[in-house]
Amino acid sequence: RKEVEQDPGPFNVPEGATVAFNCTYSNSASQSFFWYRQDCRKEPKLLMSVYSSGNEDGRFTAQLNRASQYISLLIRDSKLSDSATYLCVVNRGDSSYKLIFGSGTRLLVRP
């Protein structure tokens, strides 16, 4: 089983749509959770950290369910510029600060 699993997609949605991505992780000791965005042939960039209580940043909402070891990302009112690969990332759960990446979910927003 992969340490971090994501649906690879692609999710093909029209502008203005709401889309949700899910992610599961296997290490119950993980304490830090993130969503990163990666554009084609570029480095990943932090989209948002994910907190236990859930958190929102503009059109983006992240949720964490520790009991189910499940993370989600909701994007409202999709823009063309949201087209990218979204990476679910968790820390390894030890003191090393190492990050484990999911393989990413690809989003395509069409006009």
Partner 1 sequence: GAVVSQHPSRVICKSGTSVKIECRSLDFQATTMFWYRQFPKQSLMLMATSNEGSKATYEQGVEKDKFLINHASLTLSTLTVTSAHPEDSSFYICSARDPVSTTSNTEAFFGQGTRLTVV
> d(Cα 104, Cα 111) in Å, to the nearest integer?
23
Q: Does 64 bind partner 1 (CB under 8 A)?
A: no
Q: Where are the beta strands (DSSP E) in the chain?
A: 4-6, 11-14, 19-25, 33-38, 45-50, 55-57, 60-65, 70-75, 84-91, 99-101, 105-110
- Which of 13, 17, 74, 100 binds partner 1 (CB under 8 A)? It is 100
Query: 32 or 69: whose CB is closer to partner 1?
Result: 32
Q: Per CB under 8 A, which of residues 40..59 are in contact with partner 1?
A: 41-46, 49
Q: Does 99 bind partner 1 (CB under 8 A)?
A: yes
- Can you give the binding site for partner 1, defined by CB under 8 A? 4, 8, 32, 34, 41-46, 49, 87, 91, 96-104
